[in-house]
Amino acid sequence: MIFTDKSTKKLVPYVTGGIVDGWADYVCAFADNGADAIEIGLPFSDPMLDGPTIQEASDRALANGTTLDGILRDLSKISVEVPLIVMTYANLAVRAGFCDRLAEAGIRGLIVPDAPLDEVGPIRDAANAAGLDLIPLAAPSTTADRRREITASAQGFVYAVTVLGTTGERDALDPAANALASSLRALTDLPVLLGFGVSTPEHAAAAVRDADGVVVASALMRRLMDGAGPDALGAVVGNIRKAI
């Protein structure tokens, strides 16, 4: 179980592993500023579902020589209480022993955006065998039947994607987002978190009117790449915490 209850709204900030030396300090700063869990991006060369900000973050991390080993080594040097979740693409997730290594390093959940319901089975089996939750995504275009199947097999939480599109900051929260969150909440007892384009405390506040929480990624990564340090980015997370 990644979250023990649904009585409070969940905040899950994201950081691309290896984006800068000392990137794990951002994980600590997020934890210190009210994060309920932290999503760590394991960079992939071909991030199909990511917009320009996370693409650039991934490129920078890979240019720094980031590997799974390196990320797990950096994480072993910090200690945070909140669950850590890894987000990466199928080509990395299907590699032999992948889930075991995450689990050994204390990771609690896995998100694989390009492994839909029909393809995720083997990855979920490997994740579960290692003791990881496999967190599924659902989109505004997901049919009612699939929403039912996705929620029925979901673990950890359900990641509701606010838009038909890639990750990236947006001016406004898509109206489809809250409707999707409500429909998913009616199908599962697990928390439903909205992510993709949740860019401001106002967006987050609007999202949690119908969702159990939010995932915030691009808005943080843009500031990080513009030079914001752990304290500054922790403060941004803190402001979103207050808003929800």
Partner 1 sequence: MTIMSEPAGLGRFGEYGGRFVPESLVPACEQVEAAFREAWVDAGFRAELHELLTVYAGRPTPITPARRLSAELGLTLLLKREDLAHTGSHKINNVLGQALLARRMGKRRLLAETGAGQHGVAAATASALLGLECVVYMGERDVARQAPNVRRMRMLGARIVPVGTGSRTLKDATNEALRGWVADTAEAYYCIGSVMGPHPYPWMVREFQSVIGTEARAQVETVPDLVVACVGGGSNAAGTFTGFADTTARLVGVEAAGGAAMTNGTPGVLHGYHSMVLQDENGQITEAESIAAGLDYPGIGPEHAHLGAIGRVGYATVGDAEVVEAVHRLARTEGIIPALESAHALAWIIREAGELAGQTVLMTLSGRGDKDMEMFE
| Alpha carbons within 13 A on the beta-carbon side of 123 | 29
Helix (H), strand (E) at residue 52: helix 52-63
Residue 92 engages partner 1 in binding (rule: CB under 8 A): yes
Q: Is 211 helix (H, G, I), strand (E, B) or coil?
A: coil
Minimum CB–partner distance for residue 56 and partner 1 (Å): 8
User: What is the torsional sign of CA 140, 147, 186, 153?
Assistant: negative
Compute CA distances 146 → 64, 171, 174, whole Å: 39, 29, 21
Q: Binder to partner 1 among 113, 191, 213, 234 (CB under 8 A)?
A: 113
Residue 7 engages partner 1 in binding (rule: CB under 8 A): no
- Cβ atoms of 151 and 188 within 8 Å: the answer is yes
Q: Binder to partner 1 among 3, 14, 30, 44 (CB under 8 A)?
A: 44
With CB under 8 A, what is the number of residues at the site for partner 1? Answer: 40
Residue 18 engages partner 1 in binding (rule: CB under 8 A): no
Residue 104 engages partner 1 in binding (rule: CB under 8 A): no
Q: Binder to partner 1 among 165, 182, 228, 239 (CB under 8 A)?
A: 165
Residue 118 engages partner 1 in binding (rule: CB under 8 A): yes
Stretch that binds partner 1, among 4-12, 27-35, 90-98, 213-221 (CB under 8 A): 90-98
Residue 48 engages partner 1 in binding (rule: CB under 8 A): yes
Q: Binder to partner 1 among 13, 18, 41, 47 (CB under 8 A)?
A: 47
Token reading at 7: 């009585």
CB atoms within 10 A of CB 228: 17
CA–CA dist 183, 99 (Å, integer): 31
Residue 198 engages partner 1 in binding (rule: CB under 8 A): no
User: Catalytic positions, please?
Assistant: 39, 50
